[in-house]
């Protein structure tokens, strides 16, 4: 796992990427969160969709709901960057739209949008 510390407009966040899948379950997501929080001191992070286990996006597995609830509980803002326009179920699209209305979790197709959201 690679964690890049970023500071933009005085706000700190971490960009996380990996050769292995992140967020395959709640425990792995908590490990990533802890590494970011204690390794950088950041309470905001951005990850790529490509770095997340595809089962995360199948809402019937409940992985996304369980993982994202941990991010909310531990007050870690999360932006996920990837193409969500095709191949997504209608329930996932609805989930993304609802998540994007809040202040904790954000899905977008552009890294620049993700970073701007994290510093807002």
Digit-coded pLDDT (tens) for 74-98: 999 999 999 998 878 999 999 999 9
Burial of 18 (0-12, 13-18, 19+ CB in 10 A): middle
| Sequence ranges of the domains in the chain | 2-118
For domain 2-118, give its CATH number from 1.10.20, 3.30.750, 2.40.30, 2.40.50.
Answer: 3.30.750
**What pLDDT is recorded for position 8?**
93
**What pLDDT is recorded for position 67?**
96
Residue 45 confidence (pLDDT) above 90: yes
Residue 52 corresponds to which tokens in the numbers above? 């997340």
Pairing of strands 11-17, 2-8: antiparallel
The position carrying tokens 């890049």 is 4
Residue 41 confidence (pLDDT) above 90: yes
Residue 47 confidence (pLDDT) above 90: yes
**What pLDDT is recorded for position 85?**
84
Rounded (10°) angle between helices 63-73 and 26-40: 30
**Sign of the torsion angle spanned by Cα atoms 12, 112, 114, 30:** negative
Scanning 1-110, the segments in alpha helix (DSSP H) are 26-40, 63-73, 90-101
């Amino acid at each position: 796992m690679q964690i890049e510390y970023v500071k933009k407009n005085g706000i700190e966040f971490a960009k996380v990427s990996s050769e292995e899948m992140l967020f395959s379950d709640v425990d792995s997501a908590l490990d990533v969160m802890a590494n970011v929080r204690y390794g950088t001191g950041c309470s905001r992070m951005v990850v790529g969709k490509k770095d997340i286990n595809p089962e995360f996006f199948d809402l019937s597995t409940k992985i996304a709901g369980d993982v994202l609830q941990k991010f909310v509980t531990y007050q870690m803002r999360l932006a996920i960057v990837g193409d969500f326009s095709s191949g997504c179920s209608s329930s996932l699209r609805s989930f993304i739209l609802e998540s994007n209305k809040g202040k904790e979790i954000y899905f977008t197709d552009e890294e620049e949008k993700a970073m701007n959201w994290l510093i807002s």
